[in-house]
Amino acid sequence: MSVVAPSAGRLVVCPTPIGNLEDVTLRVLSALRDADVVACEDTRRTRLLLDRYGVKARLVSYHEHNERERAVELVARMREGGVVAIVSDAGMPLVSDPGFVLVRACVAAGLAVEVLPGASAALTALVASALPADRWRFVGFLPRKHAELERAFASPDTLVAFESPRRVAATLAVLASLDADRPVVVCRELTKVHEEIVRGNAAELAARYRGEPPRGEVALVVGPAPESEGELGAALNALQRLVAAGAKPRPAAAVVAELTGVGANALYRALTDRG
């Protein structure tokens, strides 16, 4: 159990706009004004935002190359009662951006961590996609290895990911080879002047971007894998192996159901349907 020291300083995690500078919140601006120091991924990018709203603040760089060293300095400042705000270039720090090391260090030191709500490219893309949002996964940037990419696309939940514009066509081609009809949404330049949201299936969008990659920052939203490709498929394969080894179908289905969470009756029906 960790206990926050009442007299110590604190860390304020401040999300920033993902494109449109008017999306910054009043609380974030207030926190940046009040902070003793603002740790930012790129001081030049952050300065543009602060200048827009007349915020004067002391900035220090905090990025993937100096994260551990800077975290030690910032924790020491907070231990002395200082207030540190952290921002990334766009969106929520820690979400595919630096900040995790600092937050963990603050928690370990018993320092308060306050997280302010704000813009998020992942949430914006999910809602704009019109794909199921009751169960979804965010995986950051998609893996490049073919096998890992296939595993990601086997998710039974809606998948939200970032992707390099240069790799969009190849990524969608892999998905199309697995399931040409899988619904996909390519969200480009969200909240910016040239925002574009393109919906279609994997085969259509792979063909669309094959000759002309999208420009700017891209978020992909992929519909859930059919049950046969997701949880049910993996559980059914396990059940088939047990039955092939001599187990009786119904008791084996009950065991696999208990281990995987997939319904025993659904597993048994799928097994008998396969013959």
Mean pLDDT, residues 184-206 taken together: 97
pTM of the model: 0.77
Kindly tell me the burial class for residue 127, based on how many C-beta atoms sit within 10 Å of its own C-beta (0-12, 13-18, 19 or more). Answer: exposed
Name every residue whose Cβ is closer than 8 Å to that of residue 76 and which is 6 or more positions away in sequence: none
Main-chain phi, psi angles of 8, to 5 degrees: -80, 165
* Percent share of the chain, pLDDT over 90: 77
Predicted pLDDT of residue 156: 86
Give the residue with greater pLDDT, 265 vs 105. 105
Instruction: Give the model's confidence band at 274: pLDDT under 50 very low, under 70 low, under 90 confident, else very high.
Output: low
Q: Above 90 in pLDDT, residue 140?
A: yes
Instruction: Give the model's confidence band at 3: pLDDT under 50 very low, under 70 low, under 90 confident, else very high.
Output: low
Give the residue with greater pLDDT, 151 vs 231. 151
Q: Above 70 in pLDDT, residue 1?
A: no
Predicted pLDDT of residue 261: 74
- Supply the mean pLDDT for the chain: 91
Mean pLDDT, residues 223-251 taken together: 82
Q: Above 90 in pLDDT, residue 233?
A: no
Instruction: Give the model's confidence band at 247: pLDDT under 50 very low, under 70 low, under 90 confident, else very high.
Output: very high
Tens digit of each residue's pLDDT (9 = 90 or more) over 51-89:
999 999 999 999 999 999 999 999 999 999 999 999 999
Q: Above 60 in pLDDT, residue 201?
A: yes
Q: Above 80 in pLDDT, residue 220?
A: yes
> In angstroms, rounded to a whole number, what is the distance separating the alpha carbons of residues 257 and 66?
47
Can you list the alpha helix ranges (DSSP code H) found in 109-219?
A: 121-129, 146-153, 168-178, 202-210
Predicted pLDDT of residue 230: 57
Strands (E), the chain: 10-13, 37-40, 59-61, 83-87, 112-115, 136-141, 158-163, 183-188, 196-201, 218-222
Predicted pLDDT of residue 236: 80
> In angstroms, rounded to a whole number, what is the distance separating the alpha carbons of residues 104 and 101?
5
Predicted pLDDT of residue 260: 80
Predicted pLDDT of residue 4: 53
Instruction: Give the model's confidence band at 149: pLDDT under 50 very low, under 70 low, under 90 confident, else very high.
Output: very high
Give the residue with greater pLDDT, 240 vs 270. 240
